[in-house]
Amino acid sequence: MLAKIRAVWALVQLSITIPVTIALMYLFNSHHRAIRKRWAMLQTSLLGYTLQTQGSIDPEAKLLVMNHQSLLDIVVMEALHPGDPCWVAKKEIENIPVFGHIMHPPKMISIDRSDRRSMVKLIKLAKERIEQGRVIAIFPEGTRGKGDKLLKFQEGAKALAEKLHLKVQPVVITGTRNILDSQHFEARGGVVRVRFLDTVDPSADENWYENLKTTMENTLADELANPSCHR
């Protein structure tokens, strides 16, 4: 019952704070990153969770690839990353009334996966964002999983890294689904753990994408088996 009550609180506060954040980004667009970061950091208090990290963010990595289990994954990375992540998301998010506007002021990238030209668009826009000093953030699974294992990786992240010659940093996030589970409409306090793994250079290994997935799978399994060992 408490998890349901907390979920109602999460829904209410997000329904208020997200539109306010969107409005502020439209009004003060040159400061959209600072606005997003402060909102994301505020969520740690409003949702009642703490962050634990291991490893460090590589400033030379221009592509972040992460596992995906909850909407909170994005919030966590927005709070932690010192740069300006540009998220790649499916077009359906952009089409959500009011809330879809969160994509527009910071110029995130939306992709229509039913469109054959989407890959060309993705590479073009990602190149532009990187030239503007941003970092591309993507969930290679393409959708949210249950958090216990990785889903099949889509080809978008691989194409981006190879076409644009990007160094890639994998990130494994655990705990977010337990804290904010929209599928079962439950929310709890707790700990979110984020592990920044070693950066990968695709030009050094033709099987880099498969090996990266294996490394992330092993790390996820380790985190789930030993949740208190990485503080």
Domain ranges of the chain: 2-225
The C-alpha atoms of residue 148 and residue 160 are separated, in whole angstroms, by 26
Q: How many CB atoms within 10 Å of residue 180?
A: 26
Q: How distant, in Å, are the alpha carbons of 10, 43, 70, 174 from that of 180?
A: 8, 11, 7, 12
Residue 127 — very low, low, confident or very high, per pLDDT cuts 50/70/90? very high
175: left (phi over 0), alpha (psi -120 to 50) or beta: left
The kind and range of the H/E element at 221 are: helix 208-225
Identify which of 88-92, 101-105, 226-230 has the greatest average pLDDT.
101-105
Percent of the chain at pLDDT above 70? Answer: 98
Domain 2-225: state its class: alpha beta
Query: Cα(first)–Cα(last) distance of the chain, in Å?
Result: 30
The most distant pair of C-alpha atoms in the chain lies apart, rounded to whole Å, by 51
pLDDT for position 231: 43
133-145 residue pLDDT tens: 999 999 999 888 8
Banded model confidence at residue 229, pLDDT cuts 50, 70, 90: low
Q: Which residues pair with 82 in a beta bridge?
A: none
DSSP, collapsed to helix, strand or coil, labels residue 89 as strand
- Chain segment 141-169, per-residue pLDDT in tens: 988 888 889 999 999 999 999 999 999 99
| pLDDT of 228 | 58
Question: What pLDDT sits at residue 226?
Answer: 82
